[in-house]
A = this chain, B = another copy of it.
Amino acid sequence: YSAVTTQASPCSINGFPLVRNISELPQDSYGRGGLSHITVAGSLLHGLKEVEVWLQTFSPGSFTPIHRHSCEEVFVVMKGSGTLYLAESSHAKYPGKPQEYLIFANSTFHIPVNEVHQVWNTNEHEDLQVLVIISRPPVKVFTYEDWLMPHTAAKLKFPYFWDEQCVQTPQKDEL
């Protein structure tokens, strides 16, 4: 096994060692300010079909989009603290004002299917590091610009940021 092989084929499910050192895996912001994302075990990268695991670090003041998805999602907070905003599902046409929950190192929570949520590093002094587990990969996310945006106006973001470079596209050089 060589780390070079892993770097050279970021979208391959072949050539990965069975046991991988997380600190040697590709890490990137994927264009999102303050984010560091690592796909620890992935659908597109490693061939998983039912679960996917990410390690994400949010610098102070950074956050996820306001979003929902129909998969299950579990968070385990490794370091730091922050705030979970969660709009409990209702029959309203938009999420509405979310509940706020303090999240902290060694805490865990899960997001009920289709509930609109956002995770925010509201701690000015420390990174927030979370391990994230989702079902039904690759993730299909609907994003909201604000909490009053109608559910029907939320935009599907697929493939999601870290899956973009790995989704199969037709091989144009074979035409």
Contacts and interface: CB of A to CB of B under 8 A. Distances in A.
A18 B50 CA distance: 24
Number of copies: 2
Interface of A: 18-23, 40-41, 46, 48-51, 53, 71-72, 74, 76, 84, 86, 101-104, 106-110, 131, 133-136
- The SS class assigned to the A binding surface is strand
A109 B48 CA distance: 11
Q: Enumerate the 7 nearest inter-chain pairs by beta-carbon distance, A residue then B residue, closest first.
A: A50-B135, A41-B74, A19-B109, A50-B72, A22-B106, A51-B135, A19-B101
B76 A22 contact: yes
Contacts of A21: 104, 106-107
Contacts of A76: 22, 40, 53, 131
